[in-house]
Each structure stands twice: as structure tokens, then as C-alpha cells.
Amino acid sequence: MQREIYSEEHEIFRDAFRKFLEKEAVPRLDEWEQLGLVTRDVWKKAGEQGFISPWLPEAYGGYEADFLYSVVEMEEIARAWAHAITLTLHSDICVPYIATYGTEEQKKKWLPGCASGDILTAIAMTEPDTGSDLQAIKTTAVKDGDSYVINGQKTFITNGISNDLVIVAAMTDPKAEPRYKGMSLICVEDGTPGYQKVRKLDKIGFRGQDTAELFFEDCRVPQENLLGTEEGQGFIQMMIKLQQERLTVAISSIANMWTVLDWTKKYCEERSAFGKPLIKFQNTRFQLVEMYTVAEMFQTFIDRLVVDHMKGKDVVMETSMAKWYGTEELKKTVDQCLQFFGGYGYIEEYLIAKAYRDVRVLTIFAGTTEIMKEIIGQRLGM
């Protein structure tokens, strides 16, 4: 598929990032799956080559690149199935909170390290009893002198073990009405007394990514760690940034779809049954054709959303559509493609088996399919 949204510079960047993944990531993916996390040396190497948050201003260690450079990275990570490297989460979901809402002092303190790979970030929204209902969070941050004292529990936090800095959603005013007006975002540095990385969770898929439970027990941080000019802005900040977060999930979904389809087409061309390649059976061809058609149409929609998002347009409804549709279609695609692999599709040494367990979570995180449909319904006035 010809992609008109990219320039020659984007493609040069793609080639460099692809070579980086082939050298530094692909040979170690199995190692990281066994460890349950990515070793920090690869982050340093990525930072040295300018692959972390390249959109940041030069003053903070970036290159002021446009969002398409991030999209290139998402696509190449999918092509290599190197999802263990949580580059998108760090670069395009967490770091933008600091870049957008942080004070100048916060930006100078943290952003250069975020770009160099010295500081790895996480965002802690979800709690054991809240799931997608962010307004129901119970974690509190009580003002005490010139500090906030944080108490609460977070779960399903990607980079939960590895992070050096976590952005915590907490209630600075638990009695606020409506409740969302009492929510704030506060940055907590690793090593702060009372901040505990309690347990790395044993997941079905994305096993190279560390996902953890976090506890905050009388965790005292300076009031200067509040993101924003005043308390009570956290919920609005998250709602604004969730547009890009959900768009990144949709971008990764279509990139994953193309990757899995290419694996499957190649396998069906090489694998024979009853004396001829699988690709020569009409049922195989027709099903592949249907999946390629869906991918082609979905890619067109994604490319439009990327351009609109870069123009600053409100595409909350459309990104919600893309997020639920893309992740659900990816799930169907992987399931059908695995069928073509037969028994080999159930064997771990085949990437299709890894894909089968990895993609399942995409319909859940960053807002479930059901929550996406609720948002769309509200936008449509239903």
C-alpha cells in the first residue's frame, strides 16, 4: 500500500529505526520475555540514537520532529513484533503529560532524561476496583505543608517495575462535586519513601513488558510535583491526552494486522497440503483477500485520523471508533490466520502463537471496547 503521508525523511528514519530494532531488540526478545521486562541498556541506546520522544523541543533533548516519526516507530515495532519495548507508552503517552502540563522547572528536571533513556516513565490510573471508571479512583493526595501525602493502590501499570518516574492520578479533593473536579496528576520519583513496586503481574501476553501493582503508603512528594497550575485538573488532562493514547493503540492495531497477514500469506505460499500450496485453495485465498481488504480500508481511516490529529482537530469520537474497531478486527484476523498455520500455529516458536496471546489485551487497555462505544454514543447524542 502506497502511503502518501510520509516524506523521504520519514522513510530514512524508518530505515534507521528498523536497523536499530534488528540489531538491538529482535535478538533479545526471548530473553526479555523470560525476564518479564526489557533491560535498560536498550533504552540508553535508543536515546543515544534519537529514537525516544523525537518530537520534544531541542532544549529538552528532542529534535522537534512531527508525530509521523512516532507513527513510523509504532509500525516498525509491529513489523518486528518487538512490543516488549514500551517505546510508544513512554514517548507518546507518558512524556506528553510532562511536556504539555509541566512547569518549566519540571520540564528541565525530567524531559532530558526522558529523551536520553535515563528516565523511564509510567502512568498510574487504574485501580483494583475501578477499571475504566477513572472518576471512581480512591487514591488520595492530601496536602500537608509544602508536600502531598499519597495513599492508595494502582494495578495493571505498564513499566510498573522499570519506571523512574510515575504520573499518579489521585484525589486531591475527595469531596469535590462533581467528583472529577477533585482529581489531580502528581509525579512520583522512584525511591521516594512510601512508593512501593509490589508485584510484577504474570500476564497471558506481552510478557516482555513489565506490568505491576503499585502501592503508595504515606508517600510524601513535594507540592512542586503537581502537574498543572492548580489542583483538580487531572481528569481533564487525562481526557485530552487519551485521544492520542487511543490513536496509538489503533495505529499499532493496523500495523499488527499487516504484519500478521504478511506472515500468513508467506506461510500459505510455502506450506503444501494435498499436493499444492495452501494459497492455491480458494477458501484460503478468499479469506486472505477479505482480511487484506479490511486492513486496506482501516489503514485509510487511520491515516486520515493521524493527519487530523496532527492538525489539532478534536477526533475523540473517531479515535474511539478506530480503537474499538481496530482492536476487535485485529483479534479476529489473528485468530483466522492462526487457523491457516494448523498445529504449528499453537507452537510458541511460531510468532503467530505469540501474536494470538499478545493482541487479546488491546480490546481492554486504554479503555475497553464497551467504553469506546459509550463515548461514541455520547458524541452522537444517544
| Interval 114-164: pLDDT, tens | 999 999 999 999 999 876 777 889 999 999 999 999 999 999 999 999 999
CA distance from start to end of the chain: 36
For residue 4, indicate whether it is catalytic.
Answer: no
Task: List, run by run, the mean pLDDT of 10-residue segments along the chain (382 residues).
Answer: 83 97 96 94 97 97 96 97 96 98 97 98 92 83 96 96 97 91 97 95 94 97 94 94 96 98 97 94 97 97 97 96 98 98 94 96 94 96 94
The whole-number pLDDT of residue 2 equals 52
Q: Write down the catalytic residue from 245, 329, 349, 370.
A: 245
The amino acid sitting at 175 is K
- As a whole number of angstroms, the distance between CA 306 and CA 10 comes to 14
Q: Show the CA angle centred on residue 21, arms to residues 337 and 69, nearest 5°.
A: 90
Calculate the average pLDDT of the chain: 95
| Interval 285-313: pLDDT, tens | 999 999 999 999 999 999 999 999 999 99
Domains along the chain?
Answer: 8-119 (1.10.540.10), 122-232 (2.40.110.10), 236-379 (1.20.140.10)
Asked, as a colleague might, if the bond just before 178 is cis with ω within 30 of 0, I would say yes
Q: Are 57 and 31 contacting, i.e. CB atoms less than 8 angstroms apart?
A: no
- As a whole number of angstroms, the distance between CA 216 and CA 64 comes to 35
